[in-house]
Chain A
Amino acid sequence: METLISAGITGLTLGTQYALISIGFTLVFGILGVVNFAHGGFYILGGYFAYSLSHALGLPFAVAVLAAALVTGLLGYLIETLFVERFASDHVATMLITLGIYQIMTTSVTVMYGAEPVEFRFPISGSLRLAGMYLPYSTLIVIAVCTLAIASVYWLVFRTRYGIALRATADDGVVARAQGIPPAQMFPMAFGIATALAGLTGALVTPMLALEPHGGEGVLGRAFVIVILGGLGSVTGAVVAAFIVGLVEAYSSVYLGGSKGALALFVFVMLILLVRPQGLLGTIARKA
């Protein structure tokens, strides 16, 4: 019984983290049509920025995390304006440009911090004992912060005028422009928000796990799976799919083991896509 509940909690934890990563990824795709191959790079940079800020400058953890998110957001804004903007319509050009940026990021991090994991610790250790189960405080905090972040993104995208403008641009860029929404302002901000979310997740999660230059590699693969399951461009879809993937991954790993669990997860996603190729909440894609 404890195993069942434990697996469920793990699934939820994974779900919140995956949601934060995937919202950004799907936003960027929906609004700019860009597949951001550097997404994992922003994730790990968030971790390294927070590490440097908290260890070198002695900033308290929460401040370091927020600052890291801001810095990655700014970096994303810059990268979008300088490198991605002009090529937003060419899917593959942007894929390769962002791939190149990812390589530069991992190389820089390896050169600056070394190839071995660095000591980035969560400030609060220890676990909550509940009914024979252990719930690490770090896990609870991460769930809380991620949920808060997801809620904020929701508020931004669905409740503010800015968010409406973003969604309009995603829905139909030409009409949005005709309505007076300037893509030149929407695009960099959207990219910046996405990368800030990735950086936030990295800063929060890597102290729980480990911080090393290749820690972002799995992020892109997971984002692919979740975003396509949820439907490209759909924020709600990404969140729902993130939780589904988190729970399926958790339960299949616990009951089948890691390797068979991964196979089960991919087959599960494939099966859903067979039935509903546009994803759970995606619209029938015009040429994506």
Chain B
Amino acid sequence: MSFQDTIRRALSALSFACLAAGAQAQDCEVKIGVAGPQTGGGSAWGLAEKAGTEFEAAWTNSQGGLQVGNRKCSVTVVSFDAQSTAAGGAAASNYLASQKVHAVVGPIVSPETTGFKPVAKRNRQVNFSSSWVVDVISPEFPLAFLKVNPPQVWAPTLVRTAKDRFNFKSAVVMGPNDQGGTDAGTVLAKIYSDNGVKTTTEWYQRGTTNFAAIVTRLMSIAPDTVEFAAMPPGEAAILAKQLLEAGYGGAFGRAGAGAEVIIKNAGGVDKLNAFYWYDHVPTEDPGLKRLNADYQRLMKAPVPENSLVYSAQIAAEQMLRAIASAGTDQDGDMIAAALRRAPPESRYLGKAVWRGKAQYGINQQLGFPVGMGLISNGKMEPQRRLDVSSE
């Protein structure tokens, strides 16, 4: 046999072996879960979260799968609609557990988190929540993580910057009369107060679509700024529009994601005089622009507008890396240990920190940079990226 023949034979044997090994990737499956409101008023959030997680799974699969031990495993996403209720959160945990899912992105809304946590503890599931309820993570629940920065982390900076720029002395914090409203509303009111702004809270009936009467009430109170963060984005947008029509000349704040809806509904950037807002992530960052491109390419659809899609992708990325490191997707304790071992890292936003000891008693909150936006006199300023430090 000539040398060429030997080489040819060796190469074909090698390629055959590689094909066989590639086929191996499919008989190993890693499952992650998504729990959030996919119907009802919170569905914009829930569907964005689902999209972010599914994108991360798709991206991992496009890279051949997740490297677990010496095998490449395909990633599957199982989702459950938790319907913004406590019972829905509990049902989500049990359903996902029955599907052998021990790593969950979600829940989002406070009632869901309240119902989910005790059941997930029993089912030994790791989760990344987005709600701002005071005990979203705590030492009693070692498998519970938080994927967004709570207001206490960035709101003081936001409020101080905005106060210096727009010079406001009084504020009204608006919120619906449910847990999502009171979580954010009470926290933000305190932050404004602590920064020397005379603040009151206004609770309105959840599901209100016409804020004309509230506008009249606000105009008679005449605050220098109105803070919208505790309101669902759609409702905040209506209130902003009606306030502008009524001749409100003060500032608007949205210390929570969803500013783009407000800007759109108000009629565009030029209609706004003074608006300051926060976003879970710096959406203008070149890293996230790359994410948008990847998303469009893989999912064949534009990325959802709601920025929870980015937080969900980041959380999913951390969980998959932890699963790979732990060598299993079935053991919540090992996944959690793997998460705690290494600082969080995103291939789009770079390295970050774990935080939360001071506020929650446990360092299980993702400290990725956040975005801050300002519109002044109808002109949008470049988005600022605020890096979040460790404590």
Give the complex CA separation of A143 and B203 in angstroms.
Answer: 27
A172 within 8 Å of B by Cβ?
Answer: no
Nearest neighbor of B200 in chain A, beta-carbon distance = A257
Contacts known (A210-B265, A212-B234, A214-B40); A6 close to B216, Cβ less than 8 A: yes
Question: Which of A7-15, A21-29, A66-74, A150-158 is near enough to bind chain B?
Answer: A7-15
B62 to chain A, nearest CB (A): 25
Interface residues in B, total, Cβ within 8 A: 39
Q: Point out which of B204, B210, B220, B241 has the most chain A C-beta atoms below 10 A from its C-beta.
A: B210
Contacts known (A209-B238, A217-B207, A218-B207); A255 close to B217, Cβ less than 8 A: yes
A171 within 8 Å of B by Cβ?
Answer: no
Give the complex CA separation of A254 and B217 in angstroms.
Answer: 5
Question: Which of A31-39, A112-120, A182-190, A274-282 is near enough to bind chain B?
Answer: A112-120
B52 to chain A, nearest CB (A): 14
B361 to chain A, nearest CB (A): 32
Q: Main secondary structure on chain B at its contact with chain A?
A: helix
B205 and A258 contacting across the interface, CB-CB below 8 Å = yes
Contacts known (A115-B44, A215-B209); A257 close to B246, Cβ less than 8 A: no
Give the complex CA separation of A134 and B244 in angstroms.
Answer: 10
Nearest neighbor of A215 in chain B, beta-carbon distance = B209
Residue interface mask B211-238, A partner, CB < 8 A = 1: 0111111011000000000000111011
B237 and A254 contacting across the interface, CB-CB below 8 Å = no
B208 within 8 Å of A by Cβ?
Answer: yes
B208 and A258 contacting across the interface, CB-CB below 8 Å = yes
Residue interface mask A120-161, B partner, CB < 8 A = 1: 010001110100001010110000000000000000000000
Tell me which residues from 239 to 275 in chain B have a Cβ below 8 Å from any Cβ of chain A.
Answer: 241-242, 245-247, 261, 264-265, 267
B306 within 8 Å of A by Cβ?
Answer: yes
Residue interface mask A186-218, B partner, CB < 8 A = 1: 000000000000000000010011101111011
Contacts known (A119-B264, A253-B217); A136 close to B245, Cβ less than 8 A: yes
Give the complex CA separation of A254 and B207 in angstroms.
Answer: 17
A254 and B246 contacting across the interface, CB-CB below 8 Å = no
In the complex, what residues of B have CB within 8 A of residue A259's CB? 177, 203-205
A6 and B219 contacting across the interface, CB-CB below 8 Å = yes
B245 and A257 contacting across the interface, CB-CB below 8 Å = no
Nearest neighbor of B204 in chain A, beta-carbon distance = A258
A80 within 8 Å of B by Cβ?
Answer: no
Nearest neighbor of A116 in chain B, beta-carbon distance = B44
Contacts known (A116-B305, A257-B203); A210 close to B212, Cβ less than 8 A: no
Give the complex CA separation of A152 and B150 in angstroms.
Answer: 54
A10 and B203 contacting across the interface, CB-CB below 8 Å = no
Nearest neighbor of A205 in chain B, beta-carbon distance = B210
B210 and A136 contacting across the interface, CB-CB below 8 Å = no
Interface residues in A, total, Cβ within 8 A: 44
A3 and B216 contacting across the interface, CB-CB below 8 Å = yes
A136 and B204 contacting across the interface, CB-CB below 8 Å = no
Give the complex CA separation of A258 and B209 in angstroms.
Answer: 12
A250 within 8 Å of B by Cβ?
Answer: yes
Give the complex CA separation of A3 and B241 in angstroms.
Answer: 19
Q: Specify which of B212, B213, B238, B264 is in contact with A261 (CB 8 Å cutoff).
A: B213
In the complex, what residues of A have CB within 8 A of residue B214's CB? 253-254, 258
A12 to chain B, nearest CB (A): 10
Give the complex CA separation of A257 and B235 in angstroms.
Answer: 16
A209 and B247 contacting across the interface, CB-CB below 8 Å = no
Tell me which residues from 234 to 253 in chain A have a Cβ below 8 Å from any Cβ of chain B.
Answer: 249-251, 253
A110 within 8 Å of B by Cβ?
Answer: yes
B76 within 8 Å of A by Cβ?
Answer: no
In the complex, what residues of B have CB within 8 A of residue A129's CB? 247
A269 within 8 Å of B by Cβ?
Answer: no
B210 to chain A, nearest CB (A): 6
Contacts known (A115-B43, A127-B246, A134-B246); A13 close to B237, Cβ less than 8 A: no
A262 within 8 Å of B by Cβ?
Answer: yes
Give the complex CA separation of A212 and B40 in angstroms.
Answer: 11
B162 within 8 Å of A by Cβ?
Answer: no
In the complex, what residues of B have CB within 8 A of residue A13's CB? 212
Contacts known (A3-B219, A258-B205); A250 close to B43, Cβ less than 8 A: no
Inter-chain pairs besides A10-B212, A253-B213, 19 sampled, C-beta below 8 Å: A7-B213, A7-B216, A10-B215, A17-B210, A116-B233, A116-B306, A117-B233, A125-B245, A125-B267, A134-B245, A134-B247, A213-B43, A214-B41, A254-B217, A254-B220, A257-B217, A258-B204, A258-B213, A259-B177
A-B contact list, 6 entries, CB within 8 Å: A14-B213, A117-B234, A127-B246, A214-B40, A217-B41, A249-B213
Question: Which 7 pairs, one residue from A and one from B, show the smallest C-beta to C-beta distance?
Answer: A258-B204, A253-B213, A262-B205, A134-B247, A136-B245, A259-B177, A259-B203
